[in-house]
């Protein structure tokens, strides 16, 4: 009887381990729906009548890419970035290979990342404890694209 119990327990644990899904790992395509810059107590919303932003970010394996079109009044700019990433808990680190601002190329970007259902939240820059820079940080909200 003990053998049957332990065999059943072993099969159950093996099946549970095989079906384990990484629910908080970014994968697939996500569309930005909100971007804010926080400077002390001042919050600037970049989705408004003055700012028109369309940005998509895609994760595949340990690679990411983002591309976006930003319109402020009558000025249009395009933004992009490509690199690899790692995730430990909510601490997400990007290793940037290509970026619209060449100063970021070869740099690492520490981000607090949280996924709940089909919503992804990015807060950056953060320190090693995941605390946002109090002088200035950004909050980006993405929704999963079906």
Interval 90-122: pLDDT, tens: 999 999 999 999 999 999 999 999 999 999 999
The pTM assigned to this predicted structure is 0.81
Short-list 82, 81, 56, 78, CA closest to 69: 78
* Backbone conformation region of residue 117, classed left if phi is above 0, alpha if psi is from -120 to 50, else beta: left
Domain boundaries, the chain: 26-144
User: In the chain, how long is the greatest CA-to-CA distance?
Assistant: 77
Model pLDDT, residue 9:
37
Owner of token pair 């060449």: 102
pLDDT digits (tens, 9 = 90+) for 37-74: 999 999 999 888 788 999 999 999 999 999 999 999 89
CB proximity list for 122: less than 8 A, separation 6 or greater: 92, 111, 112, 113, 138, 139, 140, 141, 142
Residues 6+ apart with CB under 8 A from 21: none
- Could you give the CA distance from residue 35 to residue 17 in angstroms, rounded to a whole number? 37
- Homologous superfamily in CATH for domain 26-144: Calycin beta-barrel core domain (2.40.128.20)
Nearest CA among 83, 113, 115, 111 for reference residue 99: 83
pLDDT at res. 3:
52
């Amino acid at each position: 009887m003990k053998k049957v119990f332990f065999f059943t327990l072993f099969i159950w644990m093996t099946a549970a381990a095989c079906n384990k899904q990484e629910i908080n790992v970014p994968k697939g395509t996500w569309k930005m729906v909100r971007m804010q810059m926080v400077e002390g107590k001042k919050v600037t919303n970049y989705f408004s009548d003055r700012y028109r932003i369309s940005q998509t970010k895609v994760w595949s394996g340990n690679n990411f890419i983002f591309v976006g079109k930003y319109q402020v009044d009558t000025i249009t700019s395009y933004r992009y970035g490509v690199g690899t990433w790692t995730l430990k808990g909510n601490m997400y680190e990007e290793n940037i290979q290509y970026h619209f601002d060449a100063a970021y190329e070869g740099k690492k970007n520490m981000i607090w990342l949280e996924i709940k259902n089909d919503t992804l939240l990015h807060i950056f820059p953060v320190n090693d404890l995941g605390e946002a820079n109090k002088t200035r940080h950004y909050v980006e909200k993405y929704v999963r694209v079906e």
